[in-house]
Amino acid sequence: MAVKLALAGAGLFGQEHLSVIARIPDAQVVAIADRNETAARTAAERHGVKDWGGDIIDLLRHTRPDGVIIASPGQTHVPLALAALELGIPALVEKPMAMTASQALPLVEADARGPAFVLPGHVLRFSAPHRRIADIIGSGEIGRVLSFSARRHRDDSHAVRYPDIDPIMMTMIHDIDLALWMTGGTARDVHAWRSPDGAQRSQTMVTAKGDTGAVWSLATSWTYPGEAAPDRIEIVAERGGIDFETGTYIRQYGDKPRSIDLAELGPDDSLLNEVSYFVHCIRAGERPSVVTARDALAGLEIAGAALSSLGRE
Ligand SMILES: NC(=O)c1ccc[n+]([C@@H]2O[C@H](COP(=O)([O-])OP(=O)(O)OC[C@H]3O[C@@H](n4cnc5c(N)ncnc54)[C@H](O)[C@@H]3O)[C@@H](O)[C@H]2O)c1
């Protein structure tokens, strides 16, 4: 029997979720909700889904799916995910899992109580190149990580499409999660700068001192009028380093210098891998371990410190 999924939020990213679910043989969408009922109905018609409406909680009560994907705006994530968990329904919650660490706490507690769980949508934990980088670090080949730098620039339509969410919460949250994962610890002394001050269409830089000794340096910009510069990661470690440019290369330096052909890693279907993992956890009755609600909480604590450094709590 297919694992039955519901979707909250049939916007741009909700539709990406629907496309990947269609590629998973043992998963099926049984309900779609969107505050904008036309969006829910259009998506339901396109995917042959019978139950749709404006209120995901009504639909969850009525259709009793095995899991729900919450791809509505960040402000709605905690109340919707809490309601799902109360109904015993596991939730894949898009990033940011919550708007603040304190808002996230009841959800982290509900997840810990179980049996229904939260899988935070930190999709890069499911990306083949990122997993390869984490494996190289984990192998000890380049030694302890001394610095983690990342940039994630987006075109300036983001400043218009997402006026209600800070670029740190929307875009940099991915790199905060990568830094937590790849350095193996959280960070303190978080400082942020933005230019122009207070603008959505801006460049933001964050530095921090990781508690495993790594210095963090993260940048995100929503200023590019056209195509933005590609995402990059640079890691400096005691016996080498790694440079990664999304879609182009992974280069390892130091004792074992090499270039890793991204084609060798296969297609980078990170969202497909993430949703497949959600389906696997539901089917196997397993709690997520690749990324957890506690990991997402740790990221929100750093993001909160960065916002506070900008005076934007
Ligand atoms: N993992 C990633 O890389 C990634 C990329 C893009 C977006 N996202 C996340 O996905 C989520 C949605 O982003 P988007 O770009 O699709 O935004 P969007 O604005 O295109 O879509 C959001 C949809 O949610 C609907 N909605 C609002 N309140 C709702 C509610 N209470 N119940 C049901 N539906 C509701 C809106 O009507 C809209 O159709 C955000 O949390 C965003 O951060 C993640």
User: Does ligand 1 lie within 6 Å of residue 65's CB atom?
Assistant: no
Q: How many residues does the chain have?
A: 313
Instruction: Give distance in angstroms: CA of 32 to centre of ligand 1.
Output: 13
Of 13, 75, 157, 222, the residue with max ligand 1 atoms within 8 A of its CB, to mutate for a pocket test, comes to 13
How confident is the model at residue 267, as a pLDDT? 83
pLDDT (tens digit per residue) in 40-64: 999 999 999 999 999 999 999 999 9
Spell out, as residue ranges, where the chain has pLDDT lower than 70: none
Sequence-ordered list of residues with C-beta below 8 angstroms from that of 297, at least 6 positions apart, any chain: 97, 101, 104, 105, 108
User: Does ligand 1 lie within 6 Å of residue 170's CB atom?
Assistant: yes
Instruction: Give distance in angstroms: CA of 134 to centre of ligand 1.
Output: 29
Q: Whose alpha carbon is nearest atom 30 of ligand 1? A: 35
| Distance, C-alpha 61 to centroid of its chain | 27
Q: Which domains does the chain have, with CATH numbers?
A: 3-122+271-291 (3.40.50.720), 125-266+300-309 (3.30.360.10)
Of 16, 94, 160, 168, the residue with max ligand 1 atoms within 8 A of its CB, to mutate for a pocket test, comes to 94
Residue 252 CA to residue 214 CA, distance in Å, equals 18
Q: Per the structure block, which two tokens stand in for 305? A: 């410190």
Which residues, listed in sequence order, are joined to residue 215 by a DSSP beta bridge? 147, 209
To 5 degrees, how large is the angle CA 163–CA 175–CA 305? 70
For strands 67-70 and 91-94, give the pairing: parallel
